[in-house]
Amino acid sequence: MSLLEVEGVTVAFGGLRALDGVSMKVEAGKVTALIGPNGAGKTTLLNVVSGILRPVRGQVRFRGRDITGWPQHKVASLGIARTFQDLQLFGNMTVREHLLVGRYRLTHTSLVEALLRLPRHFREERESRKAVDALLARLGLSDVADWPVNALPYGKQRLVGVARALALEPALLLLDEPTAGLSGTEAEEVGQLLGLLAREGLGVLLVEHHVGLVMSYCDWVVVLDHGLVIAQGVPEKVQSDPHVIEAYLGEEAA
Q: Tell whether residue 248 is a contact of another protein (CB under 8 A).
A: no
Would you say 117 or 243 has its CB closer to another protein?
117
Q: Tell whether residue 179 is a contact of another protein (CB under 8 A).
A: no
Between residue 128 and residue 147, which ones bind another protein under the rule CB under 8 A?
128, 144, 146-147
Rounded distance, CA 145 to CA 151, Å?
12
What distances in angstroms separate CA 74 from CA 59, 68, 220, one per listed residue?
16, 11, 27
Residue 94 is given by DSSP the state: B
DSSP output for 133-192: HHHHHHHT-GGGTTSBGGGS-HHHHHHHHHHHHHTT--SEEEEESTTTT--HHHHHHHHH
x-or-dash string of contact with another protein, 68-107, rule CB under 8 A: ---xxx--xx---xx-x---xxxxxxx--x--xxx-xx-x
Would you say 66 or 146 has its CB closer to another protein?
146
In one-letter notation, the amino acid at residue 45 is L
Would you say 84 or 248 has its CB closer to another protein?
84
**Which of helix, strand or coil describes residue 252?**
helix
User: By the criterion CB under 8 A, which residues form the site for another protein?
Assistant: 50-52, 71-73, 76-77, 81-82, 84, 88-94, 97, 100-102, 104-105, 107-111, 114-117, 121, 124-125, 128, 144, 146-148, 151, 164-165, 167-168
